[in-house]
Structure 1
């Protein structure tokens, strides 16, 4: 496989990981050695662009990961009529439970913006954050578009205080702009959308329990570039074409 072909698959593979927010976590069964164990988990991406999950200590997949951290996360395009004709990504990874207080706090701040209800059961029950550190990826973009990819994830330059500030500002002061993004993208208009996250390539909106990722027309590397992109989108008559030569 040529490097050119591989590189053209990197962005759609990463976008699929950004667009979706739940997948099938496969672990090595502790109670049935030799058999894979599949379970459905919601996820968001952490500061390094790696899948972040919140799982119960009594769950079977947690017991499996404690015995063997090797796992995979299968992500496919939601509501696909033909699952074999659309994109899907398998992230082969090693799972690591977060134990550092600062890392847990940062993970919780981001995860709760995506899944607000999680805050309640995280506090009331024995749940822990785990990071899925990718080792390799298998991306299928459709019939015949099959790629092994070593590095798909991209660190989020805004993760932390900068992202939290931008998200809070947009939700507090620019509800009309967010509603415009929803209209441009033909997304559900009820309940009202809220901004959940920002990365260099786009933004996440939360509408009810669902998460939607919308791409920026160009990669943003600074808060100023993000602000310019958000203003441009708030005034746009249609969602701008993404520059696919990037990334």
Structure 2
């Protein structure tokens, strides 16, 4: 498997937060049915959806769990030259209460408005378990990938604690990350998620994923990376191929 292509495909999945969910149509057998859906990644690194029980795509998934999620670069001018990922997956509704609670806690950080309609209306959490992926990184860069996603090493409480600490005590550092990365400053930024390769900021309704200079597998390593970025004058180049932040 092409590890570089897999990394780029995973980065695209992390950087974007909505895609086209294609399901097998129940109303029109034999035809694919596309829906635009928001998502974040769960602890497995799999897309996590919150969808209505009355939605057409939900009826389709209840009949046939096989689906795909198409994700492309949101700001691409030339879509033929831009990266895009088609993730073939099997959709599974979360029914275990602890799993639903964990999903809700994470999803609400990414999409805070979703808490209202999840509690009031008939919405359920579904996860997309990847089967295979087709990644196109531009002209001629075409790959079938058997493994794209990567599990999050930070347990639910550990990640939530880091996120809360940064938002409560280090708003200035978060503001610096925004400037450093050249992100929009039209609204206050909040940290909403951390994984081994980077972290998500929410600015208004938009989500942005920023990559760590080196992968981090422990909370201590994340702290070192965030402190270093808070004092940096520019966003460091990724050193993922030359070393890892594992302490």
What TM-score do you get using the length of structure 1 for normalisation? 0.97
Distance 1:19 1:32 in 2: 33
CA deviation profile, 1:12-49 (whole Å, cap 9, x unmatched): 11000000000000000000000000000000000000
Whether the 8 Å contact between 2:46 and 2:130 is mirrored in structure 1 is yes
State the match for 1:107 in structure 2.
Answer: 103
Which of 89, 94, 98 matches 2:90? 94
Any idea what SS the aligned residue of 1:122 has? helix
Output aligned runs, 1:43-192, within 5 Å: 43-192=39-188
- RMSD of the TM alignment (CA)? 1.0
Q: State the 1:245 CA deviation.
A: 1.7
Distance 2:30 2:190 in 1: 43
CA deviation profile, 1:174-223 (whole Å, cap 9, x unmatched): 00000000000111112100001000000000000000000000000000
Whether the 8 Å contact between 2:215 and 2:240 is mirrored in structure 1 is no
The list of structure 1 runs, each at least 4 consecutive aligned residues, that deviate by more than 2 angstroms after superposition, is: none
Output aligned runs, 1:5-20, within 5 Å: 6-20=2-16
State the match for 1:35 in structure 2.
Answer: 31
Structure 1's unaligned 5+ residue stretches are none
How many pairs are equivalent? 243
CA deviation profile, 1:223-247 (whole Å, cap 9, x unmatched): 0000000000000000000124279
CA deviation profile, 1:124-153 (whole Å, cap 9, x unmatched): 100000000000000000000000000110
Structure 2's unaligned 5+ residue stretches are none
Output aligned runs, 1:189-228, within 5 Å: 189-228=185-224
